[in-house]
């Protein structure tokens, strides 16, 4: 299903920015934008109450008309067939949105009373499938868990295992749960897979059935209303071990653990597995949560071998390529297990293994059920404001440590983080980072400067999502030249050049070529390549321009002054002053300049920009910094 709600959120945010803009072009259509925004907000509110899957065709039409609206507004602002859009097409689009809103209200309101069950998008994992998982490594972690279960305080304690999807939290917990020393230590044990189940009574019945040894599944209609009391009486004065596997929220934890007796010092224990650190901290009694690590390189190779050969050893002629495959799985047990099963079904030939090595991503993502949906589930549980923030982390190269300070600039520039009445942008960014780390999708790094990173698998997921969401893409000039008429490219928000490119023949930076993709671009970052014969004046909608790392010629600088919608600008130059045309940048909020020449003189007209909040320059005349008022330096 399309992730349209995210696009709709960003579109509405963009409309809101336009309404606050000082642009004359916006003033011409301001009233229509206000009406359009209200109608789109109304439509989105309806789809927030029902599954989009139930109205796939209707939701597709909603998205089409939303894209059409964005395209029409952008065309007017970019003066690309603007008169045609202003007089004919834009009013027609506004009318379409009004009609779609009416249809949405009529169709969805009729279905509001229908309750749909069994909508979980992840298959239920039973204990037999967990038992078949091969566990390698984690010897110290296993011993630590066993020690926490069998010794320590007589009061109830919670042993939490947290980490990103695919680390093997459930496999490790089950390995400990079934050990003879653990089975013999506790009077009663119960394993409860929580997952997406929202019916606490059903979950309590599952625990109760395991405690009393009931094999038959109890129908939902037959669950006792006092199941919590019955469970409490069964656990009364017993040394119990309850496993709550894959728990997502603190409210469910509170409901499920309320019947567990805590007043008797019998050494009762609860094992909790979760992707969310906040759940583990909420349930903590005595023991700190265990942050499960990635496998070591030698453990990765051992796990892959066992999945392919069982107890046999890998032939010498396949060992080199096998170790390289294990290395490319990036130490994640889920991926190693999946690739191991793929390779085990192949003939034991080096050529076939090399094919897997060279096309690993395609083999991984063929199995969407097992890989993509595992991460999709964590993504779905993120708050709406966090989803685009996570996706934008994939705009950085794989394995790169991302400074937390960079995220403030990235998210703020893209309009994903805004100050509140009580918090600044920096403080809101810190909250967002903490929430993403708690989700286990982002890995925090220590060191002198705090940084974070995402696993390669999460990076791939975010890249795919970002392309589907039309947020950003990593492209070369060759692609852009060949794809100038692509409808998909018309809907891109951001393009990042991450390869060495020669743009002499690229249509993307040529106003004469009339590349429609360029005219609708909102954000552009160029990390490498020559700037010979490039132009920017036709990229009228740009809000963010990052040209760090290359000296800009005067003609290029003058054209930047024509981009009146710019909110963030990062440039490098060799000059004594910025062009006077920069005073036209009425929406500029962030200006970062690296000047390799003499001291850069910033004219009073720059400081007079009403929305300018942050200025940074490596070589700026200090006398001018003193006249800053609301700006930060």
Assign 3-state DSSP to the chain and report helix, strand, coil percentages, each to 5: 50, 10, 40
Write down the architecture of domain 297-366 according to CATH: Orthogonal Bundle (1.10)
Collapsed DSSP state (helix, strand, coil) of residue 577: strand
Element (H, E) at 410: helix 404-413
pLDDT category of residue 598 using cuts at 50, 70 and 90? low
Tell me if 616 sits within 8 A of 592, measured CB to CB. yes
Q: List CB contacts of 484: < 8 A, sequence separation 6 or more.
A: 507, 508, 513, 515, 516, 517
Please check the confidence at residue 524 and state whether its pLDDT lies above 50. yes
Residue in the structure block whose two tokens are 């390289």: 324
**What are the structural domain ranges in the chain?**
4-109, 127-291, 297-366, 372-462
pLDDT over 60 at 129, yes or no: no
3-state secondary structure of 474: strand
**Confidence band of 480 (pLDDT split at 50, 70, 90):** very low
DSSP bridge pairs for 274: 162
- Which of 50-54, 327-331, 358-362 is the least confident region? 50-54
Work out the number of other CB atoms within 10 angstroms of the CB of residue 450.
14
Contact 170, 246 (CB under 8 A): yes
Q: What is the pTM of this model?
A: 0.65
The DSSP bridge partners found for residue 474 are 496
Rounded to the nearest 10 degrees, the angle between the axes of helix 333-344 and helix 350-358 is 140
Q: Any idea which of 58-72, 149-163, 429-443, 497-511 has the lowest mean pLDDT? A: 497-511
Predicted local confidence at residue 23, as pLDDT? 66
Confidence check: pLDDT of 149 > 60: yes
The predicted pLDDT at position 488 comes to 37
Mean pLDDT across 377-401: 83
CB 77 within 8 A of CB 541: yes
Structure-block tokens of residue 223: 């669950």
The confidence score (pLDDT) of residue 484 equals: 37
Q: What is the CATH number of domain 127-291?
A: 3.40.50.300
- What whole-number distance in Å separates Cα of residue 294 and Cα of residue 167? 7
Q: Sorting pLDDT into bands at 50, 70 and 90, what band is 369?
A: low
How sure is the predictor about 273, in pLDDT bands with cuts at 50, 70 and 90?
A: very high
With the C-alpha atoms ordered 587, 411, 573, 448, is the resulting torsion angle positive or negative?
positive
Does 392 score more than 70 pLDDT?
yes
Select from 53, 51, 39, 54 the least CA-distant residue to 8: 39
Distance from the Cα of residue 566 to its chain's centroid? 25
% of the chain surpassing 90 pLDDT: 17
Q: Is pLDDT at 176 greater than 80 in this prediction?
A: yes
Question: Which residues neighbour 594 within 8 Å (Cβ) at sequence distance 6 or greater?
Answer: 548, 571, 572, 573, 617, 618
Say what the pLDDT of residue 180 is.
Answer: 93
Mean pLDDT of 351-379: 74
Range 372-462 has CATH code 1.10.15.40: no
């Amino acid at each position: 299903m399309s992730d349209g709600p995210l696009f709709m959120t960003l579109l509405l945010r963009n409309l809101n920015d336009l309404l606050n803009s000082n642009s004359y072009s916006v003033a011409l259509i301001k009233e229509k934008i206000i009406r359009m925004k209200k109608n789109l907000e109304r439509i989105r509110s309806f789809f927030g109450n029902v599954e989009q899957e139930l109205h796939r065709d209707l939701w597709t039409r909603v998205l089409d008309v939303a894209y059409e609206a964005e395209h029409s507004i952008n065309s007017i602002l970019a003066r690309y067939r603007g008169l045609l859009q202003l007089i004919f097409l834009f009013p027609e689009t506004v009318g379409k949105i009004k009609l779609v809103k009416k249809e949405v209200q009529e169709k969805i309101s009729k279905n509001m009373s229908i309750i749909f069950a069994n909508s979980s998008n992840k298959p239920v994992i039973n204990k037999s499938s967990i038992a078949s998982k091969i566990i390698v490594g984690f010897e110290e972690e296993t011993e630590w868990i066993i020690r926490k279960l069998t010794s320590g305080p007589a009061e109830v304690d919670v042993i939490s295992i947290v980490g990103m999807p695919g680390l093997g939290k459930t496999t490790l917990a089950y390995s400990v749960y079934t050990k003879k020393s653990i089975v013999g230590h506790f009077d009663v044990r119960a394993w409860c897979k929580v997952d997406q189940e929202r019916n606490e009574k059903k979950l309590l019945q599952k625990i109760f059935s395991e405690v009393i040894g009931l094999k038959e599944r109890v129908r939902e209609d037959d669950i006792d209303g006092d199941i919590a009391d019955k469970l409490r009486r069964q656990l009364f004065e017993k040394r119990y071990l309850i496993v709550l596997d894959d728990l997502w929220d603190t409210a469910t934890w509170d409901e499920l653990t309320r019947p567990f007796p805590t007043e008797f010092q019998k050494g009762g224990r609860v094992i909790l597995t979760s992707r969310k650190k906040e759940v583990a901290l909420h349930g903590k009694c005595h023991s700190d949560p265990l942050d499960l690590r990635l496998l070591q390189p030698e453990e990765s190779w051992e796990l892959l071998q066992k999945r392919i050969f069982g107890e046999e050893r890998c032939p010498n002629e396949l060992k080199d390529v096998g170790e390289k495959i294990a290395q490319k799985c990036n130490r994640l047990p889920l991926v190693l297990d999946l690739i191991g099963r793929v390779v085990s079904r192949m003939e034991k030939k080096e050529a076939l293994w090399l094919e897997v090595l060279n096309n690993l991503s395609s083999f991984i993502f063929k199995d969407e059920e097992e890989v993509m949906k595992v991460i999709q589930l964590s993504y779905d549980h993120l708050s709406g404001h966090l989803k685009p923030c996570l996706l934008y982390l994939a705009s950085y190269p794989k394995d790169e440590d991302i400074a937390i300070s960079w995220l403030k600039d990235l998210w703020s520039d893209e309009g994903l983080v805004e100050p509140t009445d009580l918090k600044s942008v920096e403080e809101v960014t810190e909250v967002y980072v903490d929430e993403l780390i708690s989700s286990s999708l982002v890995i925090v790094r220590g060191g002198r400067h705090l940084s974070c990173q995402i696993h390669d698998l999460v990076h791939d997921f975010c890249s795919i999502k970002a392309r589907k969401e039309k947020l950003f893409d990593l492209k070369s000039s060759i692609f852009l030249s060949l794809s100038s008429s692509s409808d998909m490219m018309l809907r891109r928000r951001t393009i990042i050049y991450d390869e060495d490119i020669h743009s002499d023949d690229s249509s993307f930076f040529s106003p004469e070529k009339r590349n429609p993709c360029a005219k609708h671009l909102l954000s552009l970052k160029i990390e490498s390549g020559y700037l010979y014969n490039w132009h920017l004046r036709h990229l009228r909608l740009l809000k963010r321009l990052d040209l760090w790392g290359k000296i800009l010629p005067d003609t290029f600088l003058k054209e930047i002054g024509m981009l009146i919608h710019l909110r963030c600008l990062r440039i490098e130059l060799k000059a004594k002053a910025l062009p006077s045309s920069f005073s036209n940048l009425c929406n500029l909020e962030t200006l970062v300049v690296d000047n390799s020449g003499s001291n850069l003189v910033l004219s009073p007209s720059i400081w007079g920009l009403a929305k300018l909040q942050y200025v940074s320059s490596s070589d700026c005349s200090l006398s001018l910094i003193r006249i800053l008022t609301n700006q930060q330096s």
